[in-house]
């Protein structure tokens, strides 16, 4: 199993451009989340999905959109990038259903918005 | 409002000694606490966890202690090894949810 994969690893965008960050998992997990990691802020959840077709907002959803058409994939879209969205983005998956479930993280995408 | 806090951004420890990483939280409703380890250019990986009904959990060189009255938990690494050098994140979750709330992280450096 590859676990959680993310593409691209790095990307540079100009302000106003759009981009989709890809996330895929092959562990048959139901629960997927997107986080961003910023210096001094820890990891903050952007959006999450408990199952295909169901998505919801996390702590910092503004400027981001998500969709979940199947179990495996959970893309994160930036429609009009801003410099404040410069960050490292992590996708994470877990079995879901609540309780003490461990989340498995992808390797991250480092995004710079100029 | 930071519900989970790691007040020490960095810690430096000699190889073979004990590393103690601390975490404080404000919400007494947290049900579960986890520690994640992160190397540069990699995603965080799960290290150890503890339920709110326990006060200690051990896994090899790693032990997590929970003091509910003080709303404090700590991660002890004994003995510390150079490969333990990483950023450690404390996280908390509520009962019956998958939501994790992370601290800001502590960078541990273990030197020879």
- pLDDT at residue A98, rounded to an integer: 63
- pLDDT higher than threshold 80 for residue A23: yes
Say whether the peptide bond before residue B79 is cis (omega within 30 degrees of 0): yes
Query: Mind giving me the DSSP string for B12-78?
Result: EEETTS-EEEEEEES-TTEEEEEEEEE-TTS--EEEEEEETT-SEEEETTEEEEEETTTTEEEEEES
Query: Mind giving me the DSSP string for A55-104?
Result: EEE-SS-TTEEE--SSSSB--EEESS--GGG-EEEEEEEE--SSSSPPPE
Tokens coding B68: 């509910």
- How many Å apart are CA A107 and CA A10, to the nearest integer? 11
Q: If pLDDT is split at 50, 70 and 90, which confidence band does A40 have?
A: confident
Is the minimum CB–CB distance between A62 and chain B shorter than 8 Å?
Answer: no
- How many Å apart are CA B30 and CA A69, to the nearest integer? 32
Tokens coding A77: 């879209």
Residues of chain B found within 8 Å of residue A96, distances taken between Cβ atoms: 98
- pLDDT higher than threshold 80 for residue B73: yes
B93-104 per-position pLDDT tens digit: 987 777 889 999
- Mutating which of B98, B103, B107 best tests the A interface, going by the most A Cβ atoms within 10 A? B98
- pLDDT higher than threshold 80 for residue A1: no
Do the Cβ atoms of A42 and B45 come within 8 Å? no
Judged by average pLDDT, the poorest of A49-53, B7-11, B34-38, B97-101 is: B97-101
Is the minimum CB–CB distance between B39 and chain A shorter than 8 Å?
Answer: no
**Over pLDDT 70: what percentage of chain A?**
96
More confident residue, A29 or A90: A90
Judged by average pLDDT, the poorest of A11-15, A27-31, B10-14 is: A27-31
The vertex-B73 CA angle with B70 and B75, nearest 5°, equals 155
Do the Cβ atoms of A90 and B44 come within 8 Å? yes
CA-wise closest residue to A92 among B1, B46, B67, B26 = B46
| A98/chain B closest Cα distance in angstroms | 4
Do the Cβ atoms of A100 and B99 come within 8 Å? no
A57-108 per-position pLDDT tens digit: 999 999 999 999 999 999 999 999 999 999 999 999 998 766 667 889 999 9
B29-58 per-position pLDDT tens digit: 998 999 999 999 999 999 999 999 999 999
The vertex-A34 CA angle with A31 and A37, nearest 5°, equals 140
- pLDDT higher than threshold 90 for residue B60: yes
List b or e across A19-35, with b for residues whose CB sees 16 or more CB atoms inside 10 angstroms: bebebbbeeebbbbbbb
Is the minimum CB–CB distance between B1 and chain A shorter than 8 Å?
Answer: no
Do the Cβ atoms of A107 and B41 come within 8 Å? yes
């Amino acid at each position: 199993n590859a676990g959680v994969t993310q593409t691209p690893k790095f990307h540079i965008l100009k302000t106003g451009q759009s981009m989709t960050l890809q996330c895929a998992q092959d562990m048959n997990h139901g629960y997927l989340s997107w986080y961003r990691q910023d210096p001094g802020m820890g990891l903050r959840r952007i959006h999450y999905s408990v199952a295909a077709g169901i998505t919801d907002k996390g702590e910092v959803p503004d400027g981001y959109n998500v969709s979940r058409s199947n179990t495996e994939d959970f893309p994160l879209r930036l429609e009009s990038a801003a410099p404040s969205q410069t960050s490292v983005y992590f996708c994470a998956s877990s079995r879901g259903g609540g309780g003490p479930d461990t989340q498995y993280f992808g390797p991250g995408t480092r995004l710079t918005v100029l | 409002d930071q519900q989970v806090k790691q007040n020490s951004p960095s810690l430096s420890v000699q190889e073979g000694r004990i590393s103690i990483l601390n975490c404080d939280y404000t919400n007494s409703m947290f049900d579960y606490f986890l520690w994640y380890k992160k190397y540069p250019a990699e995603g965080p990986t799960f290290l150890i966890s503890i339920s709110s009904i326990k006060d200690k959990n051990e896994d090899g060189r790693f032990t997590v202690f929970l003091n509910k009255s003080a709303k404090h938990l700590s991660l002890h690494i004994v003995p510390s090894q150079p490969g333990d050098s990483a950023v450690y994140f404390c996280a908390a979750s509520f009962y019956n949810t998958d939501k994790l709330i992370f601290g800001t992280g502590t960078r541990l450096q273990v030197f020879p």
